[in-house]
Amino acid sequence: MIRGMVKFAGSSLISSFTPFDSVLLKKHRRFSVNSFFKNSNNPRSLSTCTQNIILHTKAEMVARQYLPPWFSVAPMMDWTDNHYRTLARLISKHAWLYTEMLAAETIIYQQGNLDRFLAFSPEQHPIVLQIGGSNLDNLAKATELANAYNYDEINLNCGCPSPKVAGHGCFGVSLMLDPKFVGEAMSVIAANTNVPVSVKCRIGVDDHDSYNQLCDFIYKVSSLSPTRHFIIHSRKALLNGISPAENRTIPPLKYEYYYALLRDFPDLTFTLNGGINTVDEVNAALRKGAHHVMVGRAAYQNPWYTLGHVDTAIYGAPSSGLTRRQVVEKYQIYGDAILGTYGNNRPHVRDVMKPLLHFFHSEPGNGVFKRKADAAFQTCKTVKSFLEETIVAIPDSVLDSPIEEAPRGREDLFADVHDLLPPPYKAREQEVLYAY
């Protein structure tokens, strides 16, 4: 832990789950700092000073409640759903969690069924809602509808390279080509929520991939809106010819772009994302000066060893002390409580158990556990019965042992990053003024 020790009041992770419909975070809105905005049809007409005051107030509301997002779990489609986040919070109390991306249109069209998409248990805080879209009215309405669920931050997806999103959907990473619109969108989102807002983006798109072009995007969005937090996936996106999976591996990582942003935009906050797989590597990035770090697939595919060291190694907090058996027992209570609550017998056992299939990654018995799971999905109607059929494959030594030492990371991942920084950015203020 490199941030200095923090005093923690005695607290425990989730000790029990009441039926899901009784713990939905759906409350009346708190006093809104956005009363400032309601007097103006155009939030961007507010002075920069006023916008900064409002932003600071929102950020302070969140900062008083939680530790900083030194470690967060990336939003991942079909992965970081309510079930995975429940498991993640049992393992780490302090990691910041993100929803999978929700299209603004989905939120609007599902107004009668929003709990299925937006509800979560109180233990999942701190949690960020990521939305996607390219229609200002829909982004405003979706943000307003989400307010009842009390997320801690609203994030706009400007980084997804999927053809369905960035192509036909005309949002995701394609929005990086229109920073003026992104600035307008972030102003609209900020005007309709009580909490801070942020943008998640790549370092470039296709041949729009120079450091200066990335800086132009950051400068314009932060100048045209209250956005002060950017999550930077340190690869560019290629929109044609490769798949979303290949977009996570083929474009080279350029961590030097991220660290140059820290130098050139000292008034903004940046989270580093991309290619970081262990807590050891997270701490290496923080030692080099990163504000915050976001981890994606490693936190999903190996949750016990990735998330299990976050509280102690990054936050200097006490460990939960839970064994894997205890985590599974608590997750089973949650799982059986939520089965069928969405209607049409959804979620079913397969939905709820999906994140637990990675819980014994590379441990003895993991292969047998997964084979038993395939069979159990065909017959089991409850999480309890599913676990009775499958957990016998895992040795007691795995289930009952405390978490072992964290996996080592790549020691040279950021070794020369400060020697590779591009030349300092000089803001082209006339372009920003023209964007108004």
Q: Which two tokens stand for residue 74?
A: 């990336």
Q: Which residues 6+ apart lie within 8 Å of 227 measured at CB?
A: 183, 186, 190, 197, 198, 199, 221
CA distances from 397 to 37, 262, 323, 400 (A): 58, 45, 10, 6
Q: How far apart are CA 99 and CA 83, in angstroms?
A: 11
User: ∠ at Cα 182 (176, 186), nearest 5°?
Assistant: 140
CA distances from 119 to 21, 123, 193 (A): 9, 12, 17
Q: Which residue has the tokens 């998409």?
A: 117
Q: How far apart are CA 246 and CA 261, in angstroms?
A: 25
Q: How far apart are CA 398 and CA 403, in angstroms?
A: 9
Q: Which residue has the tokens 């509800």?
A: 119
Which of 160, 201, 215, 380 is labelled catalytic? 160
Closest among 152, 149, 202, 161 to 77, alpha carbons compared: 161
Q: Which two tokens stand for residue 208?
A: 């729009």
Residue 47 in 3-state DSSP?
Answer: coil
Q: How far apart are CA 265 and CA 231, in angstroms?
A: 14
| C-alpha dihedral, 347 to 349 to 354 to 357, nearest 10° | 170
Catalytic residue list contains 160: yes
Query: Which residues are part of the catalytic machinery?
Result: 160
